Structure 1
């Protein structure tokens, strides 16, 4: 299992501070750099990596440590440097070694560690005769715990498992090699929304340990077995048998917490004056009363919100796609998944903003129609779907059944209304009365589908989509 210890320090760990931390293993261990210098490794005499220290990065977004490490986490005032120290529990000394490396960084720089109990400043010796009898491939690191022909398995034990830089790197590597990424966690762990999205597509899985059934899929509840080098539903020998669902997954207590999700596409003409992110800013401001506070390419989200920097990154990566995340202020849970791609006709922004509300809080459903009108008139809206579901306010994903979202409304932008034909688009074969938004000569159509309490709204949406597609809408 991979164990993580994180040092949070008010100043950047320089080379001397990192070396002082690595000296926690005494003089008998090797220090190497890997991944173009982005990772420093402490190795056993036989070459096996015992501890990997990621390049520190500056977190300038309030609330990120508390969101990912738990409320009450000790965090330096203001901005701080986040340094991850990882190790494998295959060698008992390695876990204590990681705690000593992080503890020394925090002691030298006046910071804190997570988890607090892991930090020491002791010298931890490793066996001098090595821990494996075979050579270790160059560039190996204690990040993937099991690697087979089909699957990369990561064993994680944080309370909240996030889409960190190193997990993103592993995910990219599995795509390149045609493998699945499977993350194995204890039953009390939760995922962040960005990681859930990354794992929701086949062949990736969230595998949850369970004393009753062994393992199950944390997103579907399917009971799993380790077979042929991967976690998969047990073979039944009959195509008609249904995959059993773990009791722990189905045993979910009802909750009054809810999540409001706004998914929309904006299409811009490609020109030198294009600024990305303005539509995200508008939606965030209208629904929460404040702008996004941070953005980044992984978690923790570390950069202050800036449409200019976001645009610069997308230009640098063009014509390739750009995927970023955005987060709101502490106290108002809000996360956005933001994808920017070059498409026929310009540059598309595909955004899903999810907001969390506690029992007794009222999602701002009445603000949706005026918000949509502002997107129609000022932001080249293509489509927009709003949905509501019963799920955790903090936007984390437990390994339990959660009710699927129920659509509240759908909006078709002016360009597609014109392509479908206004007369056809205004007369769907369902009991829905669309609202015209924007200029009367070139309107968009907003279709209310319900209040989020009736799952039959999905049937209305499917019928509406079939009606529009039948007129040539793709």
Structure 2
């Protein structure tokens, strides 16, 4: 059962409703704020947190509640106030306290509670008897999302159908890395994670999956894990190798597919620069509509705005800015966008993933035209397009999925200049590249296949080796 309870309310929480919610445990509990007031905590008599409540979030992007919580959670109007409460996992009664808080908010402000059967939601009018409830001491360096803190790792326990990169987890990740720890997210085997969360999972950060056969394994690599000196680490067999969990190796065929478009653009740091244009163009060409919403964490609660994105990036510069961008419910699509200052200028790194079900064809024919517009208008550096068999809803399961197969690759004008225009235009591939952008400073798009077999990888390897070599194309090569 999840320890996270969410109230989705029709009206904005006010002082009276928040106070009524905080009194869910009666007058004996204490209230404190952390994170410069962004989180309110209900605490025991010793000041130890039982429930942490994040500041209410106005969810203005239709489909986000359904994407993260399931279709039954989608508010009828498409918008709602998202109020998330996290119970201390070490205290059994804390979950009922979180549920009662959320139920009171929904009762007073209209709306619903997720999950609908959360403990404590049955009778929101009566406070919970919290006499005698105590929490374990919280380490001083722990964040509200952290369930256990060791010298090596910050451990977070989660049990949700789809685990997003919430502001809780984002802050826990930042704090753990700053303290030279790894963030380790522990879940049951039925959970999936969002592509946004998957994008930040890099050692020492791990997704740890509980499994009745092997104990624990890494949800992205399948490596069997063991607990050692305060952290989950790869296990070793007698030969010194790390085994792969049987549950992870359960490859399940699917007719769904995902198109993954990754690219980097580089802009001169001019005063009138507005970011996000390349991503918006890619979204429009591949889906027929612009992005729907964005944020620095999930849920993506703010309607898409290039101006607001630019203002945030300039406010944070020279530090990088990471955002998640989502689309409309009818076409599953999610992108991560990272803006950073480099010696070359202002760079935007984008990975856009789109889901397709049976009978829906990924628009591979659009890719050359997209690359041409990115070269012409947005300073494209490189672009890689891949196709794979994976779920239309984009959720990442804790099991093996087929690797994405490259279907296209593009070089921008500056990269072509560095490689050599004649060299870039005449390659060992059987199909001639498509020239992109102005004739004086062209880029090139290289078709690599239809994504149906590993030949796309062979074509990409041949192409990249040739482009890096600076040598002559073999006789008979495309030109």
The TM-score range, normalised by the shorter chain, is over 0.9
1:44 aligns with 2:78: no
- Deviation per residue, 1:397-416 (Å, 9 max, x gap): 01111001100011111121
What's the counterpart of residue 215 of structure 2? 214
**1:142, CA displacement in angstroms?**
4.8
- State the partner residue of 1:63: 63
Q: Give matches, 1:51-130, under 5 Å.
A: 51-118=51-118, 119-120=121-122, 121=124, 122-128=126-132, 130=134
Give yes or no for contact 2:59–2:301 (8 Å, CA) kept in 1.
yes
Q: What do the CA deviations read for 1:83-106 (whole angstroms, capped 9, x no partner)?
A: 101102322211111110010011
Judged with a 3 Å threshold, the aligned counterparts in structure 2 of structure 1 residues 443 and 139 are, in CA distance, closer, same or farther, namely closer
How far did residue 335 of structure 1 move?
A: 0.6
CA distance in 2, matches of 1:421, 1:325: 36
- The aligned counterpart of 1:421 is 420
Alpha-carbon distance, 1:79 to partner: 2.2
Once the two structures are overlaid, the 10-residue window that deviates more, 419-428 or 254-263, is: 419-428
1:249 partner SS: coil
Question: 1:388 matched to which residue of 2?
Answer: 387
- Name the SS for the 1:116 alignment partner: coil
Q: CA deviation at 1:460?
A: 2.2
Structure 1 runs not aligned, ≥5 long: none
Residues in 1 aligned to 2:133 and 2:290: alpha-carbon distance in whole angstroms = 56
CA distance in 2 between partners of 1:130 and 1:404 (Å): 48
Residue of structure 1 in register with 2:298 after alignment: 299
Post-superposition Cα deviations, 1:204-256, rounded to whole Å, max 9, x if no partner, equal 111111112111111111111112211122233544xx321111111122001
Residue matched to 1:450: 449
The 8 Å contact of residues 407 and 450 in structure 2, kept in 1 or not, is answered as yes
The residue correspondences of 1:39-438 to structure 2 (distance < 5 A) are: 39-118=39-118, 119-120=121-122, 121=124, 122-128=126-132, 130-132=134-136, 136-137=138-139, 142-199=144-201, 201-236=202-237, 238-239=239-240, 242-438=241-437
Secondary structure at the residue paired with 1:72? Answer: helix
Distance 1:250 1:352, change over 3 A: same
Stretch deviating more after TM superposition (89-98 or 135-144): 135-144
Q: Counterparts of 1:31 and 1:139 in 2: how far apart (Å)?
A: 19
Q: Check conservation: 1:87, 1:95, Cα contact below 8 A.
A: yes
How far the C-alpha of 1:2 sits from its partner, in A, is 6.8
Aligned to 2:477: none
- Structure 2: distance between partners of 1:137 and 1:446: 53
- Assess if the C-alpha contact under 8 Å between 1:265 and 1:348 holds in 2: yes
How far apart are the structure 2 equivalents of 1:251 and 1:205? 20
Q: Is the 8 A contact 2:143 2:171 kept in 1?
A: no
Structure 1 stretch displaced more, 135-144 or 253-262: 135-144
Unaligned stretches of 5+ in structure 2? Answer: 472-479
**In structure 1, the residue corresponding to 2:98 is in which secondary structure?**
helix
Paired positions, count = 467
Distance 2:156 2:133 in 1: 27
Preserved contact between residue 9 and residue 109 of structure 2 (Cα < 8 Å) = yes
The more displaced of 140-149 and 19-28 is 140-149
Check whether the contact 1:2–1:88 (CA below 8 A) recurs between aligned residues: no
Sort the Cα spacing of 1:13 and 1:76 in 2 relative to 1 into closer, same or farther, 3 A: farther
Contact between 2:216 and 2:226, CA under 8 Å: does it hold in 1? yes
Paired with 2:51 and 2:184, the residues of 1 have a C-alpha distance of 22
Per the TM alignment, residue 108 of structure 1 is displaced from its structure 2 partner at its CA by: 0.7
* TM-score, reference length from structure 2: 0.94
What is the CA RMSD across the aligned residues, in angstroms?
1.7
- Does the 8 A contact of 1:45 with 1:128 survive in 2? no
TM-score, length-scaled by structure 1? 0.95
Deviation by residue 1:348-401 (Cα, 9 ceiling, x = unmatched)? 111111100002211001111112112222222111111101111001101111
Cα distance change, pair 137–403 in 1 and its aligned pair in 2 (3 A)? closer
